[in-house]
């Protein structure tokens, strides 16, 4: 029998990281994802004690986080839990909701700025069709990035996450890296 070797979305055995001046792009390979949707007349659960966020918001709890994706719908994140049956854990916490494993369907890229939130805003202005100044820490939205639908999550003033279809991982990385390189190249 063949030995199977897990690969990251960009094809490597380790997540890719690249720095462009003050901006660092990192492929996040260990994030578990589960979509959670309330059923008709369902009560909003609090998986693992975390209140699910309201429209356009992202919240972090103890070992999990979540962001709003639509009316009565959320994406629940489990940092460092991609190898677990994370959706089963969330389903146990939300038995009256529909929960689906999403871990292998998405690619996640973190963008960190050592120069503060201004560089994140500058980068977003080159990439997405939203006003990046309105995307404050703790917010999330779905938008377009080079004709692809992505989620943009502002985890902190100096940290942003872009989440898109795993099948478009290389295209998203190319767009992010190209914009970061142009932005940082023009700043010197």
- The predicted-structure confidence for 100-117, as pLDDT tens digits, reads as follows 999 999 999 999 999 988
* Candidate from 12-26, 82-96, 117-131, 153-167 with smallest mean pLDDT: 117-131
- 3-state helix, strand and coil shares in percent for the chain, rounded to the nearest 5: 25, 40, 35
Radius of gyration of the chain from its Cα atoms, rounded to whole angstroms: 17
Number of structural domains, the chain? 2
Range of the domain at 70: 31-38+46-104
**Judgement on whether residues 111 and 155 belong to the same structural domain of the protein:** yes
Query: pLDDT class for 186, splitting at 50, 70, 90?
Result: low
Q: What is the pLDDT of residue 1?
A: 67
Residue 164 included in any domain: yes
Are 63 and 148 part of one and the same domain? no
**Is the domain of 111 the same as that of 179?**
yes
Q: Tell me which residue of 27, 32, 36, 35 sits closest to 7, measured CA to CA.
A: 27
pLDDT in tens, 126-182: 999 888 888 999 999 999 999 999 999 999 999 999 999 999 999 999 999 999 999
**pLDDT tier, 188 (very low <50, low <70, confident <90, very high otherwise):** very low
pTM (predicted TM-score): 0.93
């Amino acid at each position: 029998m063949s030995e199977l070797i897990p690969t990251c979305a960009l094809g490597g055995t380790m997540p890719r990281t690249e720095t462009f001046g003050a901006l660092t792009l990192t492929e996040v390979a260990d994030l578990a994802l589960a979509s959670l949707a309330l059923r008709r007349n369902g009560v909003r659960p609090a998986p693992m004690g975390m209140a699910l966020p309201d429209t356009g918001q992202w919240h972090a709890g103890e070992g999990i986080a979540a962001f709003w994706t639509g009316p009565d719908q959320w994406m629940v994140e489990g940092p460092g839990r991609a190898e677990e049956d994370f959706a089963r854990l969330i389903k146990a916490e939300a038995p009256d909701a529909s929960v689906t494993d999403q871990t292998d369907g998405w690619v996640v890229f973190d963008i960190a700025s050592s120069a503060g939130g201004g560089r994140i805003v500058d980068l977003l202005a080159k990439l997405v069709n939203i006003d990046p100044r309105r995307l404050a820490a703790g917010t999330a939205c779905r938008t377009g990035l080079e004709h692809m639908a992505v989620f943009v999550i502002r985890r902190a003033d100096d940290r942003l996450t872009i989440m898109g279809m795993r099948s478009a991982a290389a295209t998203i990385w190319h767009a992010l890296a190209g914009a970061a390189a142009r932005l940082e190249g023009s700043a010197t």
